[in-house]
Amino acid sequence: MSDNEHRQLARDSLFVMAELRIDGVGGEQRIRVRNLSSGGLMAEGDIRVQRGQLVWIKVRNIGWVEGSVAWVQDNRFGIAFREEIDPKVARAPMVAGEGTPRFVKPAMTFAPVGELRKI
């Protein structure tokens, strides 16, 4: 896909935190995702990346996605994904599961008063 074709993809504005791995750099960096499309995203953060650098980003509800830095301007940068994703999945509410933090899981429900057991 050419650069011009990437610009034509519908982008959803959003503000979510994500983890970023940079090829050749150890560890993960915390970044803010500002918009997302099937072919890439715009991120913001206090990290140094260079155009063409290989990266992996953990997209909410999707997991790790491989891409490369398409552009850099100040503390913002674009990432072009190697393979397209479904941005609607990333926007969907998080599903409670074993790996879900406690504060995201639904609140505990209590038994109705008539069903309490005596000790």
Residue 54 sits in which domain range? 3-115
Report the SS3 class of residue 51: coil
d(CA 13, CA 16): 10
Contact between residue 54 and residue 66 where contact means Cβ atoms under 8 Å apart: yes
CATH number at residue 41: 2.40.10.220
Q: How many domains does the chain have?
A: 1
pLDDT tens-digit series, residues 36-82: 999 999 999 999 999 999 999 998 889 999 999 999 999 999 999 99
Count the Cβ atoms, other than its own, within 10 Å of residue 67: 22
pLDDT tens-digit series, residues 90-101: 888 765 555 555
Contact between residue 58 and residue 97 where contact means Cβ atoms under 8 Å apart: no
Tell me the pLDDT of the chain averaged across its residues: 81
Handedness of CA 19, 26, 54, 42 (dihedral sign): positive
